[in-house]
Structure 1
Amino acid sequence: MERTDYNRTLALAAIFQAASIVKDLAWRGHCDEHEFEILIGSLFAFDVEAPQDIFRGEANLRTGLERIEVQLKSGGKPPDMEITRYAIGLIFLERKLQARPDMLEALGDGLKAAERQVEYFNMTHESVIARLADVYQESISKLGPRIIVQGEQTHLSNPNVAARIRATLLAGIRAAVLWRQAGGSRWKLLLGRNRLIHEARDLLHRLNN
């Protein structure tokens, strides 16, 4: 993958979009179904490299692009610390994952098994989401430290909502892989913040015209 601001921005947008969906599910028990389906679909884009293709177009990451502008432009404390905490947690866990080839292999096997289910159900069917949630628990959750999700206990204790949250976090890890492959790093996030904001604004302007 080319290490460009464009690719880094789309990958970061996907991370923020995953974080936003996790928050919506945890506090409201539901989320934007199209955005959810786009993120879940990215888990099965095995033979696609460019973020634009993995997420089926820039427009499908609009929420994430808006989040980049809002969360990074403050220069100080982000306006929504919960979403930022999830995003940073996903980037951190992906880095730890890269040091565990055994877990990477298990993760790949789990996704292949879930892909076989997609042949019989649609991508966001409860059975597929439950399998993806299991993959997350059997791999990413064991890396530590876990991402602690806040929300309404009614929703967090609902097995279907909990599974959707874990599946979304798994998609967030996928986006964090793309972020790293595009040259993203902690320093790029800190020192290259203005370039990411500029790229996100340009993309949003293009989408709105």
Structure 2
Amino acid sequence: MANTLYDRTIAFAGICQAVALVQQVAKQGHCDEQALITSLNAVLNLSPNSTIDVFGRESDLRVGLECLVNGIDSTPSGSEVTRYIISLMALERKLNGRNDAMSQLGDRIQMLSRQQDHFELLDEQMVSNMASVYLDVISPIGPRIQVSGTPSVLQQTSTQHKVRALLLSGIRSAVLWRQVGGKRRHLIFGRKKMVEQAQILLARM
């Protein structure tokens, strides 16, 4: 994977997209379906040729790119997005230090990939299987990500499965971010450049 501003922007937009969709699902019980397909497919794409190939096309990351440009601010919603992103990146760092968990995650994702022969991506069983990978492998590494939303929506099993499957996708993008050279300093000092890159990508859609 190349370590360019473009690659880092794409990987970070992947994290932002997963987080923006978690927000939508937790509040409304549903989210942008095409963006959901992109985010979940990213988990199952085991041998991408490039950073963008993890997600498909640039336009498939529209929700994430828009979140990167407009969604990270000091409003309550923006602060929530920031909290989720920081939590996912902290979890990924812990995961990266645990060879046992990384190996288990790889095995479980290969199993998910094989299950695609039997289930459609958005089939409840498939989403539930992805959620259980997050619950079994990522969650125990801690700390737990507290998801805010509408209580009656968050109580629904289908919502819980979607949220966990999306958090797994967020971890996938956080792994990708590290693979393309993304570091904490890029978030602190290089975010303006990523926002500019995201604006260019959105403008050409």
Output the TM-score relative to the length of structure 1. Answer: 0.94
Q: Number of aligned residue pairs: give it.
A: 204
Residue 113 (structure 1) shift: 1.6
1:193 has 2:191 as partner: yes
Structure 1 residue runs without a partner (length 5+): none
Report the Cα distance in structure 2 between the residues aligned to 1:157 and 1:117, rounded to whole angstroms: 27
Match of 1:167 in 2: 165
Deviations 1:74-108 (A, max 9, x none): 6xx36611111111111111111000010011111
Q: What letter matches 2:195 in structure 1?
A: I
Structure 2 residue runs without a partner (length 5+): none
Percent identity at matched positions? 39
Report the Cα distance in structure 2 between the residues aligned to 1:101 and 1:127, rounded to whole angstroms: 28
Report the Cα distance in structure 2 between the residues aligned to 1:114 and 1:161, rounded to whole angstroms: 20
Residue 170 (structure 1) shift: 0.1
1:113 has 2:111 as partner: yes
Match of 2:130 in 1: 132
Match of 2:64 in 1: 64
1:149 has 2:147 as partner: yes
**Structure 1 range deviating more: 26-35 or 41-50:** 41-50
**How much is the aligned-residue C-alpha RMSD, in angstroms?**
1.3
Q: 4+ residue runs of structure 1 moved beyond 4 angstroms? A: none
Q: What letter matches 2:199 in structure 1?
A: R
Report the Cα distance in structure 2 between the residues aligned to 1:34 and 1:69, rounded to whole angstroms: 20
Q: What letter matches 2:156 in structure 1?
A: N
Q: What letter matches 1:187 in structure 2?
A: R
Report the Cα distance in structure 2 between the residues aligned to 1:107 and 1:58, rounded to whole angstroms: 27
Match of 1:85 in 2: 83
Match of 2:203 in 1: 205
Residue 39 (structure 1) shift: 0.7
DSSP 3-state at the match of 1:122:
coil
Match of 2:35 in 1: 35
- Aligned pairs (5 A) from 1:2-41: 2-41=2-41
Report the Cα distance in structure 2 between the residues aligned to 1:15 and 1:152, rounded to whole angstroms: 22
Residue 49 (structure 1) shift: 4.2
Output the TM-score relative to the length of structure 2. Answer: 0.95
Report the Cα distance in structure 2 between the residues aligned to 1:92 and 1:50, rounded to whole angstroms: 25
1:47 has 2:38 as partner: no
Residue 166 (structure 1) shift: 0.1
DSSP 3-state at the match of 1:3:
coil
Report the Cα distance in structure 2 between the residues aligned to 1:130 and 1:49, rounded to whole angstroms: 28
